[in-house]
Chains A and B, each alone.
Chain A
């Protein structure tokens, strides 16, 4: 028995976990310093860099190794503008029925609250405010990023295709930040664009493909990456000795 533990210990030496309290390694550092970038320079990202970023998405893990993603790189500012117009148009229409803030309309308030309960993901208070500010024209969708990567999922894939999209996308985002580029996840676009038949025809999107999310990519203004404080989350922990604890 002790022999096998000794063998196991020798085996464990192959791995290189950090010492307790050791400084962050390069990957951890990129993860912790990644901030969403919402202010970009006009300079276009070269094609080879975008390809290098897409390549990291290609090697993401996916359910059943089906690699469910499809990327659409949009560097044509006209198409980006057109997409933004579609989104703003829909959000303005939504706000006509739901913008009770300050106006005090009881009917709109009732409708907004029904939407909050029926579609809690789309009408969570934070995106609700986002929809309002986008409709007002105070907030851009892709914040003037010169490149937009739309990520589509093949909806026939096993498991939950949007999860695989998230995994591939985060690979790409972290790779981009390691090059000093800025990115921002933008999912405000999905519902309006998936509803727009004309746009879908223009971009050649139809079943089984479905727009899941998008990433804004570009050179950031200033140096946006850095450490910030953030609330800790409770994690339940069932220990080896059968005890239970909650860690933060």
Chain B
């Protein structure tokens, strides 16, 4: 059955000071064995959540506001980036009727 928001839910908006609780940020894992440090993923990331440290890409430690768009996954020539956690909102803006993440499927 479709999900809905109650009136109470709608009043309860996300608080940016409760990241991790109200707002679950996306996360990518970078395979440091295959990462060549080309740096293509850095400008591609809209929220600048990636940086190069010691010739390897990694997520910034200071609030990487990743909303799992997947641009870094797609651009990586070595296929070393994977989305491990998808962006989620927990209160009045929460996504409804979502299933498991999948790449494009052939039915």
CB distance from B97 to the nearest CB of A (A): 4
User: Known contacts A229-B103, A233-B98, A234-B97; is A223 also within 8 Å of B47 by CB?
Assistant: no
Interface-located stretch among B29-37, B50-58, B68-76:
B68-76
A126 CB-CB contact with B under 8 Å:
yes
The reply to whether the CB of A101 lies closer than 8 angstroms to some CB of chain B is yes
Cross-chain contact B77 with A117 (CB below 8 angstroms): no
Contacts of A138 in B (CB 8 A): 48
Which stretch of A31-39, A57-65, A160-168 is in the interface?
A: A31-39
Question: B43 touches which one: A28, A36, A126, A221 (CB < 8 A)?
Answer: A221
Q: What is the interface residue range for chain A against chain B?
A: 35 or more
Query: Which of the residues B2, B43, B83, B89 comes within 8 Å of A236, measured between beta carbons?
Result: B2
CB under 8 Å from chain A, chain B span 86-107: 86, 89, 92-93, 95, 97-104, 106-107
Q: Are B46 and A139 in touch, CB under 8 angstroms?
A: yes
Give per-residue flags for B1-34: 1 if the beta carbon is below 8 A from chain A beta carbons, else 0: 1100000001101111100000100000000000
Would you call B104 and A24 a contact (CB within 8 A)? yes
A31 to B100, CA, bound (A): 20
- With A120-B93, A230-B70 already in contact, the answer to whether A224 and B44 are too (CB < 8 A) is yes
Selected from A20, A133, A222, A229, the residue in CB contact (under 8 A) with B101 is A229
Q: Known contacts being A38-B46, A221-B40, A225-B74, is A232 close to B99, with CB within 8 Å?
A: yes
- A46 in contact (CB, < 8 A): no
Which residues of the other chain, B, contact A28 by a CB distance below 8 angstroms?
A: 104
Among candidates B10, B46, B93, residue contacting A125 with C-beta atoms closer than 8 Å: B93
Would you call A21 an interface residue if the criterion is a C-beta within 8 Å of the partner chain's C-beta atoms?
yes
Tell me, yes or no, whether A84 is within 8 Å of chain B by CB.
no
A126 touches B67 (CB 8 A): yes
Q: How close is B89's CB to chain A, nearest CB, in angstroms?
A: 6
6 additional A-B residue pairs with CB within 8 Å, beyond A35-B74, A38-B43: A113-B13, A221-B43, A228-B73, A229-B70, A232-B100, A248-B99
A interface residues with partner B (beta carbon < 8 Å):
20-24, 28, 32-33, 35-39, 100-102, 104, 109, 113, 116-117, 120, 124-126, 128-129, 133, 138-139, 221-234, 236, 246, 248
